Structure 1
Amino acid sequence: MKQLFLICVSLFFSVNSLAAQEGRFVQKDNIFPRVEIVTSLGSIVVELDRSRAPITVNNFLTYVSDKSYQGSVFHRVERDVENDRDFVIQGGGYDKDYDGLHENDPIFNESGNGLTNDMYSIAMAYQDREPHSGTRQFFFNMDDNDHLNPGRDWGFAVFGSVMEGYETLDKIMAVKTGFNDKIGYNFVPEKPVVILNIKVLEQVPL
């Protein structure tokens, strides 16, 4: 009987531990949770929008809760050279050695939610032109990227916006980049820009 009780207690804490790692349980009554992204070049505060992008926000918060983003890098710092403007800063998917990180199941693309890829918004990345392949990588729009919004085809789902730390993004945008043989991408920072931590900020009472 005692052994059965211990098993039940163990299962209870295991289930609750797992639930605590799911983004939907992170400040579950807060429609606009805020996170601070601490990088090797400074911090960025982002307000997430559960009202428009609940799936994407909860997915992002799951990785945050698991501390899965710690030690990942921004692997893509791209300028639109032809039009002489900034484009995107993308990260969250590789470590500083550019090895891919663990991915949970892909999520539904919420790009038709009314949020647009304006400057300093945060959006979900997807792979190989497969709109519902997004897992953990995200990007910041560093200009108004209207062509990333949905039209007849799927776009990229915006799920929040930058509230503080614009200067940090500008610092990242200014780093020297080049081609990386390992991942086969251009616009990769020559010196890794590391995400040291992402933490959920305390909810401000209304």
Structure 2
Amino acid sequence: MKQFNTQHWFLPLLLLCVLIVAGCSSTTTSAETQAQNNPSVEQTLTPSSPTSTQPMANSPQLNGKATVVMTVNKSPITIEIDGTNAPITAGNFVDLVNKGVYDGLAFHRVVRDPQPFVVQGGDPQSKDPKFPSARLGTGGFIDPKTSKERMIPLEIKPKGAEQPIYSKTLESAGIQKAPVLSHTRGAVAMARSQFPDSASSQFYFALADLPFLDGSYAVFGYVTDGMNVVDQIKQGDRIQSAKVTQGLENLKN
């Protein structure tokens, strides 16, 4: 019988915990943490979960592909957004880019040691340079139409499926197939808390292949050019601009 290699599994589990704690919603991993990080968290509710075949009707959707060019440290990062396999997640991101939400926001979490993991940003609170850095990672996009945080359902499409699975990880849905959009180096995905439907505006770049995240977090695109720029991002660096350069006509609100 082979012995269980605890060292082999410890690091992926540790990194996974880092990402979960970094979830973008103000609903974090415990009631105590919520109260410490966001005094108004009691007014923020996790949205009702859509069924596996009926995503949120009022969510922006991307029907097809789009291209986003993000400028960081005066250098462009080109991202191909995949609305074919992740229409709601991709639509949310393209809509926020088009609204200028990401312009000026900081990357508040960069994990490269003990091995490359993620570069995470997209917390609207980071636009204010005086906002406490220790509290970054708790904010999401506040929709001016509703004055509430816009959250989207977890959306993962298994290989061979016609439609994505919503509001569940593939494991909790009992699906053993790999997702169509996997966490290869250069993947762009949504950060969230422990609650599946808590992604809002925070996203991350995968700095390496991260297969242990597949099926649990929603990938919606890939860096096609400028990964060298991503590799140089430091904590506190800001997104100077993010623009939809192609495919905006595929966005449906």
Pairwise same-fold verdict (TM > 0.5) = yes
Once residues 101 and 125 of structure 1 are traced to their aligned partners in structure 2, the CA distance between those partners, rounded to angstroms, is 10
Tell me if structure 2 keeps the 8 A contact 1:111–1:149.
no
Deviation at 1:134, TM superposition (A): 0.1
Q: From the superposition, tell whether residues 32 and 95 of structure 1 become closer, same or farther in structure 2 (CA, over 3 Å).
A: same
Deviation at 1:80, TM superposition (A): 4.1
Once residues 98 and 89 of structure 1 are traced to their aligned partners in structure 2, the CA distance between those partners, rounded to angstroms, is 21
Bigger radius of gyration, 1 or 2? Answer: 1
Deviation at 1:166, TM superposition (A): 1.2
CA deviation profile, 1:116-148 (whole Å, cap 9, x unmatched): 111101001102x11210000000000111111
| Residue 122 of structure 2: aligned partner | 92
Q: Give 1:55's match in structure 2, choosing from 63, 67, 88.
A: 88
Give the TM-score normalised by structure 1.
0.68
Q: Is 1:134 aligned to residue 178 of structure 2? A: no
| Residue 146 of structure 1: aligned partner | 211
Once residues 42 and 118 of structure 1 are traced to their aligned partners in structure 2, the CA distance between those partners, rounded to angstroms, is 22
Q: Is 1:163 aligned to residue 224 of structure 2? A: yes
After superposition, where does 1:54-133 map in structure 2 within 5 Å?
Answer: 54-81=87-114, 85-93=115-123, 94-95=126-127, 97=129, 99=131, 100=139, 102-103=141-142, 104-113=149-158, 114-127=180-193, 129-133=194-198
Tell me if structure 2 keeps the 8 A contact 1:96–1:194.
no
Q: From the superposition, tell whether residues 131 and 101 of structure 1 become closer, same or farther in structure 2 (CA, over 3 Å).
A: closer
Deviation at 1:51, TM superposition (A): 0.7
Instruction: Please report the RMSD computed on the Cα atoms of aligned residues, expressed in angstroms.
Output: 2.0
CA deviation profile, 1:5-51 (whole Å, cap 9, x unmatched): xxxxxxxxxxxxxxxxx854xxx66x111010011252100000011
Structure number having the greater strand percentage: 1
Q: Is 1:202 aligned to residue 232 of structure 2? A: no
Which structure 2 segments of 5+ residues have no match?
1-58, 132-138, 143-148, 159-179, 248-253
